[in-house]
Amino acid sequence: MKFSKVCTLAGGVAIAASTLLIVPTESAQAATCNEANKFCGWKDAGYSNTRLIFDSSPAGSRSIFASQQDQMSSAKNFTNNKWCGVDQEAFAPDHTVISFGPGAQVPDLSVYGGYVNDNIDYFDVVTSGGTCPHSF
Ligand SMILES: [Ca+2]
């Protein structure tokens, strides 16, 4: 949409000044996660804000956030594996704080407490029936 405005300058000369209506760019929406074989985690509850992880690492591997540890607040697991969320501390052994089985969708990690919400540093990926390598 375009608006026009006519300005009259001293001396009676008229010029038309047009102004483009600025339409807000598409708001930053949280990236979705409906792909099979992906594990996704978001910064905020309700699968919103930045998608911090979008991964399909195989069982037996470790999936590490790209410098965004201690931020994840919601997650969906569309893989066939179990994803063990691990908290890493300087003066204690790494320990699993929650695990996400195949198909798990958790809209708000804060319901499990502050040691889960905003506290996962990486994931151990194991088979669906596997045991998380770091103790709970
Ligand atoms: Ca942590």
- pLDDT at residue 85 in the model: 97
How many other CB atoms are there within 10 angstroms of residue 130's CB atom? 15
Measure 69 CA to ligand 1 centroid, in angstroms.
7
Q: What's the DSSP call for residue 35?
A: -
Contact 77, 104 (CB under 8 A): yes
Measure 23 CA to ligand 1 centroid, in angstroms.
40
Say whether pLDDT at 115 is over 70: yes
Measure 57 CA to ligand 1 centroid, in angstroms.
20
Neighbours of ion ligand 1 (CB under 5 A): 70, 87, 119, 121
Structure confidence by residue, pLDDT tens digits, 2-54: 444 444 444 444 444 454 554 433 334 567 787 789 999 999 999 999 999 99
- pLDDT at residue 21 in the model: 52
Regarding pTM above 0.85, the answer is: no
Structure confidence by residue, pLDDT tens digits, 59-75: 999 998 777 889 999 99
Could you give all domains of the chain from N- to C-terminal order, each with its CATH number? 39-127 (2.60.20.10)
